[in-house]
């Protein structure tokens, strides 16, 4: 059995994003993700919430809407 070990992080380039998200609000992000072995593309928050990234305009480009739950004091999101 051949096993491929991919220890190279995908290249992510943020194209555009909302300037700021307020508690209880939402924002948008458009980014390019490049990796030969890319399987899933999503945004994850510091609370473990997952937001789907949708293919956008060209191959390798994605857009996502993300929300900051009004009950959470802190918010961070990662591609």
SS3 assignment, position 72: coil
pLDDT for the residue numbered 63: 97
Is the pTM here over 0.75, yes or no? yes
pLDDT in tens, 21-46: 999 999 999 999 999 888 899 999 99
Dist. CA 25–CA 74, nearest whole Å: 13
pLDDT for the residue numbered 7: 86
Checking if the pLDDT of 5 tops 90, the result is: no
Dist. CA 53–CA 31, nearest whole Å: 9
Sequence-ordered alpha helix ranges (H) in 1-79: none
Checking if the pLDDT of 66 tops 90, the result is: yes
Q: Work out the pLDDT band at 79, boundaries 50, 70, 90.
A: confident
Dist. CA 62–CA 70, nearest whole Å: 26
């Amino acid at each position: 059995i051949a096993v491929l070990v991919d220890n190279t992080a995908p290249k992510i380039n943020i194209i555009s994003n909302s300037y700021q998200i307020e508690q209880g609000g939402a924002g948008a992000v458009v980014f390019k993700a490049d990796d030969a072995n890319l399987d899933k593309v999503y945004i994850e928050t510091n609370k473990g919430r997952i937001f789907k990234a949708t293919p956008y305009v060209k191959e390798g480009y994605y857009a996502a809407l993300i929300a900051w739950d009004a009950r959470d004091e802190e918010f961070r999101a990662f591609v």
